[in-house]
A = this chain, B = another copy of it.
Amino acid sequence: VDILLHYIRKTFDEESKILDFHHPHQLLEGLDGFNLELSDQPEPLEQLLVDCRDTLKYGVKTGHPRFFNQLSSGLDMIGLAGEWLTATANTNMFTYEISPVFIVMEMILLKKMHEMIGWGETEADGIFSPGGSISNLYSILVARYKKFPEIKTKGMAVLPQIVLLVSEHSHYSIRKIAAVLGIGTDNVIEVKCDERGKMIPLELEENILRSKKMGLTPFCVSATAGTTVYGAFDPLNNIADVCERHNLWMHVDAAWGGGLLMSKKHSYKLHGIERANSVTWNPHKLMGVPLQCSVVLIREKGLLESCNQMCAEYLFQPDKHYDVGYDTGDKTIQCGRHVDIFKLWLMWKAKGTSGFEVQINTFMELADYLYKILKKKENFELVFDGEPELTNVCFWYIPPRLKSISNEYERQQELQKIAPKIKALMIEEGTTMVSYQPHGDKVNFFRMVFSNPATKQSDVDFLIDEIERLGRAL
């Protein structure tokens, strides 16, 4: 515990290094007494403690105020306490029998989140799952089952050629899911977005009509509330109109943007989400809950269970002495299921809805602060204009040398190499971490996101200075 507390103190110290980078082969070969190989014989406790210290030493401090690399960052102390208690309880969500408290907490949180979505009085359903991709998988699975219940027993052989529609900026997990479910990635139609990365409803409708004309059967649209790279919100109400007209299941992947529902100031960006049939929402992202904490919410009660139920007699005995309607295991595609609920429940108790709201509003202010600075800075260029709708800010750093390149193609070729080089230097020096990627026809740019409660304005200033310092001579 002392080792862990020491690490936590260092994590929050902005002057400490985020990481002490070593290449994979260096770790494999063993570093200065840190040998990862396993032997047949036990090792003494002192060695284990050294190993624990080294594991943290050579890892990445994702709670560091200058760690901006992923949508999940930060280290909430209440959430951490919740996770420690969860580990100590070491139980499993499949039955009320061995998880009475956690099952009831899950029910309460599902209800709370339904209210925030705006499903109000309907008795909505859902399940916490091991991450956003699996939550999205549940949605598409249930959407398919709703339209074609025979899929469960007969398989795809008895279905027409089904297709689903997403935006070209949607998360790659939807394509993965199509491969897993036996739909095939070719049957995922990618709908064009506007320059902000929002799905164009007219394009959506045209794609639906075109696919029908080709003899295909659209069954589901997966809209995104908060895209991974741009942080864009699809126009949910317009998409809901299209879905209603064509009788399609509407899923909203709000894994990243769902957190804005906690903010009275920003929740309007998700207007129309109450018309969705299913929603993915990851509290481990914008709400800062420790990994993993993701939920899929389904509007129609009972669908999840009838889709996935197998009635395994060794777990879900109908003759138990309590109301077995509380056993959740027959709703899931898992059997055993990790307890991800307690840390969220405890954080909610500790912060209240209002506490999450303050935190999320602060992230938005930081994004706005960064956006306004970059707009003015000469060596930085924004990937698209307009105030941030979520905490994503996408930009290039343009080293002075590139300004003299007049050939645009050549300039882009050079610009493509800049972000990776700066990132490599950041990692080598361990001062900050921010992600980069190309996107569509845009060459490598930085994607800054705010989801770390430890981050302050001065850390934003630091990031800009650091990129300039590392990139100037490139």
Contact = CB atoms under 8 A, between A and B. Distances in A.
Interface string A20-34: 011111011000000
A422 to B, nearest CB: 11
26 contacts: A36-B104, A36-B345, A38-B349, A41-B354, A42-B350, A43-B350, A47-B349, A55-B85, A55-B342, A69-B97, A80-B90, A87-B290, A92-B291, A130-B130, A130-B334, A133-B335, A141-B180, A151-B182, A152-B179, A152-B184, A155-B183, A156-B157, A156-B183, A157-B161, A292-B336, A317-B444
A314 interface: yes
Contacts of A70: 92, 98
A184 to B, nearest CB: 3
Interface string A37-50: 11111110101100
A50 to B, nearest CB: 11
Given A85-B52, A130-B334, A333-B176, A40 B182 contact: no
Contacts of A19: 100
Contacts of A181: 180-182
Given A36-B105, A40-B352, A427-B321, A179 B157 contact: no
Interface residues of A, number: 147
One complex includes copies of this chain to the number of 2
Residue among A27, A428, A447 with the highest chain B CB neighbour number at 10 A: A27
Interface string A44-70: 010110011011101110110000011
B91 A59 contact: yes
A44 to B, nearest CB: 9
A338 B56 contact: no
Contacts of A180: 137, 141, 180-181, 333
Interface in A329-372: 333-339, 342, 345-346, 348-355
A88 B8 contact: yes
Nearest to A39: B352
Interface stretch (A117-125, A395-403, A430-438): A430-438
A4 B156 CA distance: 49
Interface string A309-329: 010111101011111001000
Contacts of A337: 130-131
Contacts of A348: 38
A470 to B, nearest CB: 13
Given A182-B181, A355-B42, A447-B314, A100 B59 contact: yes
A229 B37 CA distance: 35
A352 B42 contact: yes
